[in-house]
Amino acid sequence: MLGRRQKQARAFKAYERRHLIESVEERLLGLRQMRDLTMTLVAYDSMARRSELVAVRVEDITASGDTGVLLIRKSKTDQEGQGSKRFLGPDTIAVLQEWLRRAGIAEGFVFRAVRRGGKKNPHGHVSADPEKHVTPLEWARAVRRMAELAGVRDPETYSGHSTRVGAAQDQREQGIEVGKIMASGGWKSMTMVARYTEDSAVAEGGMADLARRQGRRSIRLR
């Protein structure tokens, strides 16, 4: 009996990320939008899994100049809890710090539920419980909402894993060494990197190269 091929999440890549940033610049965001934006950018830069991201605490974040470092305390491939540090770019750390400021979060979990606003507080309010974080399911919803805000097609097809897939493919397409991709995503095996970047590998393959050299283009049929 043949094994069933596991379906890979749709990639949230540099294209979607760029359009998301452009769509929110100079725009007043509500608290939930601000949180969702922060979640999406942190997820892309850190390449962390949803289970790791929901557990991020304030003390796990360190700013260094205009960039930052995120400590993943425990992961699927690190059951001993030795920890893994991930890079956060200038735009991501700036948005993260602004989220913490607006939400009034100084300790505990970074990503918490945002309740709907009322007359007194139209922008909503953040859960005051520092020991209660968002769920992995809510993380997936946040990515979909941000994909919709970015104006991409079929935002409902994204998942909480899309940023991890997209960041891996972006690195592959920029010629970044496999070892560095493994370290960025916390992988122990090159096989996993190959699976995540398979679509990028196809686009770099012989037939794709031939099509480009032949100058082939899309056609319209009536």
Contact indicator for 110, 58 with CB cutoff of 8 Å: yes
How high is the pLDDT of residue 75? Answer: 67
How high is the pLDDT of residue 118? Answer: 46
How high is the pLDDT of residue 202? Answer: 80
Query: What distances in angstroms separate CA 194 from CA 48, 57, 186, 189, one per listed residue?
Result: 17, 31, 14, 9
CATH class of 14-163: mainly alpha
Distance CA 170, CA 165 (A): 9
The pair phi, psi for residue 193, each rounded to 5°, is -65, -40
Residues 6+ apart with CB under 8 A from 40: 12, 17, 20, 142, 143, 146, 163
How high is the pLDDT of residue 120? Answer: 47
HSE (CB half, 13 Å, CA atoms) of 158? 30
pTM of the predicted structure, to 2 decimals: 0.84
Distance CA 143, CA 150 (A): 10
How high is the pLDDT of residue 80? Answer: 66
Closest to 136 in 3D by CA, of 69, 67, 56, 72: 56
Give me the tens of pLDDT residue by residue for the chain, a chain 222 residues long: 445 556 678 999 999 999 999 999 888 889 999 999 999 999 999 999 999 999 999 999 999 899 999 999 876 666 666 788 999 999 999 999 999 999 999 999 999 999 865 444 555 678 777 788 999 999 999 999 999 999 999 999 999 999 999 999 999 999 989 899 989 988 888 887 878 788 887 887 888 888 888 898 888 888
DSSP state of 78: B
Q: CA 196 from chain center: how many Å? A: 14
Domain edges within the chain? 14-163
